[in-house]
Structure 1
């Protein structure tokens, strides 16, 4: 079993309990346990910094739970951007069973990373690398934040299948990094917007609830965050992967550095939303309150068509202000005066594309 009904610890590889001898490793960041610590001690130390998250969902294919990682003593949590967070109430349960209400601070749509906050202080947490210590190239040439090399032993900690509740500890899987490759994946018909490097793992982490979990090395140092359930674009098989720690840090600091842009995740509910169809854009229908703003179709002859917008584009900014949902797009556009310039930033095939739509059409006048 992957669950731990008591404060004991189970280490799993696939579905088998194993005892591992840990040799070698790579640079990680924050939270390292003492040299010579047993696997159980390493996992217990890491699990104290992992949280269980509960929000929207509960229907087939849309689970209402996932995992997060504490990254500041003041209660900041990094996790994946998903429909679980499309809720006005996000419950966060710590390793010791303490329960908090979490607030969505903002999101990085390209990395599909979200930052949450819980009220409190002195939380056990990982320290993410500062900007001046992040690698400047995909190979991670600058130390000390080197990436884990293929063959490196790792533990994946997450609330897979939602089996842990209250003060029950999250599950831990043991495996190795099989490869470090650019992500080429999709969810349904939509391509994943992130195309940077990820860790491909030999343990099955593509499970409901695993997204947002911690990938730690043999000393318990955080080296990555488990990704969401995605299929390989080339083969269609489910991918077991994690976002490297340097990309997690960039996404986290980008959200915090956005200032007022981070508020785009929660647009003013009293403002009258703007009809994006006036621009010739049809967005994917809302499944939940914060469905990501993917373009479903573009009207022929519209200003959007003339600007080069395409179906499956993911809108991430309006006039340089970040947006993370369909409603946020409508609110950002509503804040512009008639005749103001409209510039949409989208993610397409893993790249950033700027589209200039000219001036904002008058309300009630379709192009």
Structure 2
């Protein structure tokens, strides 16, 4: 059986089409909040609490690519919840016999692999650490940590005992989603197992950065940058690692963080959902998960430049960009002809407004495939083609 298992028997017609381009001028920064609960928080990098937005690129695929329908079709969320909940798990993390964290996950295959977030299970990656996976029928199954990746916030567990009725969730495609499509988030918010919330896709290709847990013994903090799905389905502490599913009940993302109105590390941070949650795309999550299952570690696509946030005039319009500060020898960027001072404004058909946006797009792209980069050099627009490598 392929990872994800068979799709539900009752399906509505799939909605296919390209993803919407990144639409922001400033990246969203997210930080893990909740202490003992595996949740996430985010706040904007602007100086105040006001949202920062930009207009979509004229060349970006968007909602206009899809014919407008007067259909009032709504997914049967009750049926989808009934079908998917058995494949969703609550995760309890303990150290030396004491619970240190809660989170969510979902069954990936019939071998007992469970996908979740790195920040949910990282505390167990130490002496005395243990993980219990609680299924929807209440059974508590010890699980081993197969591997975790702080750079993408993805981790994989392996159930020590595989139930006969284990239900892997069907895997969908975030690339088939449009802004406005309905979605459901499932998980264990605030320890309330078997919870579901619904909403829509609020944005696609949203660059999000979080601080994550690296080497536990060294108390190492790493930066996670993802090209996320933004949703208004309520995501709260404890939802982390749970699935975001489409109207067919297929996983299209892994819930990982949510926005707050202030710095989550401050005493004034607001807890609870404010309608801005983020999910790692299922393509990136399964790409990393498959590597963790096979080798216990993950490699990531890279370009090979150092960069800073910048602005540049492009066709008479001032816009955000990522300016190349240096090009590393022997890298895809060097082979493609990148030069110091190049202003990168697009990767493929998706705009690049700053360095985080470029990093998020690179990390969400499979290595080995040629990718076009649009740069401004000496005031002229050029296209450079690079084939990303993994390291």
Normalising by structure 1, report the TM-score. 0.51
Aligned positions of 1:108-119 closer than 5 A: 108-118=149-159, 119=161
Residues in 1 aligned to 2:280 and 2:140: alpha-carbon distance in whole angstroms: 27
The equivalent position to 1:199 in structure 2, one of 229, 237, 261, is 229
Residues in 1 aligned to 2:131 and 2:149: alpha-carbon distance in whole angstroms: 18
Residues in 2 aligned to 1:193 and 1:232: alpha-carbon distance in whole angstroms: 21
The equivalent position to 2:84 in structure 1, one of 21, 24, 46, is 46
In structure 1, list runs of 5 or more residues that go unmatched: 1-27, 130-143, 165-169, 263-348, 353-367
Give SS of 2:245's match: strand
Partner in structure 2 of residue 176 of structure 1? 200
Give SS of 2:223's match: coil
* Aligned: 1:146 with 2:170: no
> What is the alpha-carbon root mean square deviation over aligned residues?
3.8
Shift of 1:34: 0.8
Cα pair 1:50 1:70 within 8 Å, conserved: yes
Give SS of 1:257's match: helix
* Aligned: 1:186 with 2:210: yes
* Aligned: 1:253 with 2:290: yes
Aligned positions of 1:62-141 closer than 5 A: 64-82=101-119, 84-87=121-124, 88-118=129-159, 119-120=161-162, 122=164, 123-128=166-171
Cα pair 1:80 1:112 within 8 Å, conserved: yes
Residues in 2 aligned to 1:225 and 1:101: alpha-carbon distance in whole angstroms: 22
Residues in 1 aligned to 2:5 and 2:202: alpha-carbon distance in whole angstroms: 20
Residues in 1 aligned to 2:132 and 2:226: alpha-carbon distance in whole angstroms: 31
Partner in structure 1 of residue 10 of structure 2? 34
Cα pair 2:210 2:224 within 8 Å, conserved: no
* Aligned: 1:208 with 2:232: no
Shift of 1:185: 2.8
Residues in 1 aligned to 2:168 and 2:5: alpha-carbon distance in whole angstroms: 11
Give SS of 2:94's match: coil
Residues in 1 aligned to 2:250 and 2:208: alpha-carbon distance in whole angstroms: 27
Residues in 1 aligned to 2:261 and 2:100: alpha-carbon distance in whole angstroms: 21
Cα pair 2:107 2:114 within 8 Å, conserved: yes
Cα pair 2:174 2:283 within 8 Å, conserved: yes
Residues in 2 aligned to 1:186 and 1:145: alpha-carbon distance in whole angstroms: 21
Cα pair 1:56 1:83 within 8 Å, conserved: no
Shift of 1:232: 9.3
Residues in 2 aligned to 1:52 and 1:171: alpha-carbon distance in whole angstroms: 10
> How many corresponding residue pairs?
217
Shift of 1:64: 1.7
Cα pair 1:186 1:231 within 8 Å, conserved: no
Cα pair 1:180 1:199 within 8 Å, conserved: yes
Partner in structure 2 of residue 326 of structure 1? none
Partner in structure 1 of residue 256 of structure 2? 227
Residues in 2 aligned to 1:86 and 1:69: alpha-carbon distance in whole angstroms: 19
Residues 274-298 of structure 1 show CA distances to partners (whole Å, capped at 9, x for unaligned) of xxxxxxxxxxxxxxxxxxxxxxxxx
Residues in 1 aligned to 2:186 and 2:196: alpha-carbon distance in whole angstroms: 5
Give SS of 2:291's match: helix
